Each structure stands twice: as structure tokens, then as C-alpha cells.
Amino acid sequence: MPESGDDSPTPVTADDVAHAVRLAVAALRAVPAAGWDSKAGSLEWDRWETVEHLSDDLFAYAAQLGPSKPALDDDLPVLVERRRPGGPANTIHVNRTAGPAGLLQVLEATGALLVAMVRTTPVDVRGYHGFGVSDPEGFAAMGVVETLVHIHDIAEGLGLTWDPPADLCARVLARLFPDAPTTTQPWPTLLWATGRSELPGYQRRTSWRWYGEPRS
């Protein structure tokens, strides 16, 4: 999925994270009040928990880059806990009395943290992730993938339209999924790469991962 004249993909940037989060918040404003406690797509979490998990991912990716010497062998030692058996293990939990508006504020805030860290962290800094020690661009791409696919999970079953920009999907595929097909449309390919759908000529994945290591 090349985007430049020399057939090289353009990098994933802080602006891409900001764009993905803005699109996500706009889409989530259409979730009906009664829909937040229902299961999100094929996940075992409800829609509220899924946004908490997404917010937690964005926070974690930002925090992993924060120390003067980021760890390369483990996650930042913040406390994570589940609020119920089978729920997501998060550091970020949102006060339910704040309602959906408060939930979306937290999503915006954690997205802004990742945007700021990607924008200000030197490109040679590395931080730990279980799918490969990564750089600021890699953490930006992870944040975009988490945002795009989890909004898909939330929208599923509600009749909401969620069709992210093809160029954004293409950039994160090029950065994190080097094994993904390059002749198919980017958004369906990203859903296939993250185990959420079939792709013509490719069976649905029963397990998946991305590759966060810098390409060079």
C-alpha cells in the first residue's frame, strides 16, 4: 500500500493518532444510552468497558515512552485491576456516574497524552511492548490500530457507520503488519489482520499479533 513516489509508506505520526481519536469520539457520540452495557462485537466486554480498555491502551503507550530511560524488558509497573471477572485489566477506570460524556472525555484525554508523547519523544527512543520493543512511531501506530478496531467492535450491532480513512489504515498496516496482503483494501485488511473478519482468499485469523519493532 505505498503512498509516495518511491514506493515507501509514509510514517505514522502524532497527527494520525489525533485524527483517529477525533473520529472515534465523534462516532461514539451516536451510541444510544441503552447500548453502553451491551457486549461489544465479538469481545467479552461491554461497550463501556471497551472504551475504558482503549483509553487504557492509549495511556499505557504514552506512559511507556515517558521515563528518561524507558524499560526495554517489561511494562511500566502501574497497578492494573479487573472490576469484574472477565473484564479488561486496566489502570484507567472511568467513574460511571460521569456518564458517556465523562467516558469520552477520558478517551480524549488519554489520546492527547499519546499524541503529546509521540510528538515530543526523540525518534531514537525505545520502549517495551510485548509484541516487540518499539519507537514513538510504533506506539503511535499501535494507538491508531487499537482505536480503529475497538470502535468497530463498539459499532457492531448498533447499525453505526464506521469506515476509517484508507490512507490511515494503510500506514498502520505497513508499520505493524508486514505479513498482511498489500493488494486488498486497507480497512478490510486491517480487520482481517486483527482477527475480526475474513478477507477474500484469506481465512479469518484465530490468533494475531503485530510487529512493533522499528523497520530500520
Domain map of the chain by residue range?
14-193
* Whole-number pLDDT of residue 2: 40
Could you write out the three-class secondary structure of 61-93?
A: HHHHCCCCCCCCCCCCCCCCECCCCCCCCECCC
13-61 pLDDT, tens digit per residue, is 999 999 999 999 999 999 999 999 999 999 999 999 999 999 999 999 9
* Whole-number pLDDT of residue 173: 98
- pLDDT: which is higher, 153 or 6: 153
Is-above-0.85 flag for pTM?
yes
* Whole-number pLDDT of residue 145: 98
CA distances from 136 to 25, 70, 97, 123, 140 (A): 23, 12, 34, 6, 6
Identify the band that residue 9 occupies on the pLDDT scale cut at 50, 70 and 90.
confident
Identify the band that residue 8 occupies on the pLDDT scale cut at 50, 70 and 90.
low
126-140 pLDDT, tens digit per residue, is 999 999 999 999 999
* Whole-number pLDDT of residue 82: 97
91-127 pLDDT, tens digit per residue, is 999 999 999 999 999 999 999 999 999 999 999 999 9
Q: Residues 171, 187: contact at Cβ < 8 Å?
A: no
Identify the band that residue 215 occupies on the pLDDT scale cut at 50, 70 and 90.
confident
Residue type at position 211: Y
pLDDT at 3 over 50: no
Distance CA 121, CA 118 (A): 6
Distance CA 46, CA 157 (A): 12
* Whole-number pLDDT of residue 1: 42
171-196 pLDDT, tens digit per residue, is 999 999 999 999 999 999 999 999 99
Identify the band that residue 7 occupies on the pLDDT scale cut at 50, 70 and 90.
low
50: part of which helix (H) or strand (E)? helix 47-64
Four-way CATH pick for 14-193: 3.40.50.10440, 1.10.10.10, 2.10.60.10, 1.20.120.450? 1.20.120.450
Instruction: Give the angle subtended at the CA of 95 by the CAs of 34 and 48, to the nearest 5°.
Output: 40
Distance CA 59, CA 210 (A): 19
